[in-house]
Amino acid sequence: MKVYFDNAATTQLDPEVFETMRPLMLDMYGNPSSTHSHGREARSKVEYARRTVAQLLNTTPSEIFFTSGGTEGDNTAIRCSVEAYDLKHIITTKIEHKAVGQTADKLAAEGKVKVSYLELDSEGHINHDHLIELLKNNPRSMVSAMHANNEIGTLQDIDRIGEICNEYDAVFHSDTVQTMGHFRHDLEKLQCHFLVGSAHKLHGPKGIGFLRVCKSKKIGRLIDGGGQERNHRGGTENVHGIIGMAKALEIAYRDMDAHQKHIQSLKTRMIERLRETVPGVSFNGDIREGHSLYTVLNVSFPPNEDNDMLLFNLDINGISASGGSACNSGANTGSHVLTGIKADPNRQGIRFSFGKYNTMDEVDYVIEKLAEIVEPAVV
| Active site amino acids | 327
178 binding ligand PLP? (CB under 6 A): yes
> Least distance (Å) from ligand PLP to the CB of residue 285?
13
Q: Which of 198, 307, 335, 353 binds ligand PLP (CB under 6 A)?
A: 198
| Position 177 contacts ligand PLP (CB under 6 A) | yes
Interacting span for ligand PLP (CB under 6 A) from 65-73, 158-166, 252-260, 327-335? 65-73
Smaller CB separation from ligand PLP, 153 or 330: 153
Q: Is 69 in the site for ligand PLP (CB under 6 A)?
A: yes
Nearer to ligand PLP, 147 or 369 (CB): 147
CA distance linking residue 191 with residue 58, whole number of Å = 13
Query: Minimal distance in Å, beta carbon 13 to ligand PLP?
Result: 14
Site string for ligand PLP, 121-160 (x = CB under 6 A): -------------------------x---x----------
Angle at CA of residue 286, ends 102 and 117, nearest 5°: 30
Q: Which of 91, 101, 94 is nearest to 140 (CA)?
A: 91
Q: Which one of the spans 36-44, 67-75, 229-237, 355-363 is the region binding ligand PLP (CB under 6 A)? A: 67-75
Q: Is 209 in the site for ligand PLP (CB under 6 A)?
A: yes
Q: Is 70 in the site for ligand PLP (CB under 6 A)?
A: yes
Judge residue 257's burial from the number of C-beta atoms within 10 Å of its C-beta, 0-12 exposed, 13-18 middle, 19 or more buried: exposed
Q: Does 204 bind ligand PLP (CB under 6 A)?
A: no
Smaller CB separation from ligand PLP, 175 or 362: 175
Minimum distance, C-beta of residue 210 to ligand PLP, in the bound complex (Å): 10
Site string for ligand PLP, 75-114 (x = CB under 6 A): ----------------------x-x---------------
With contacts defined by CB under 6 A, name the span among 171-179, 252-260, 319-327, 330-338 that binds ligand PLP: 171-179
The residues binding ligand PLP (CB under 6 A) are 69-71, 74, 97, 99, 146, 150, 175, 177-178, 198, 209
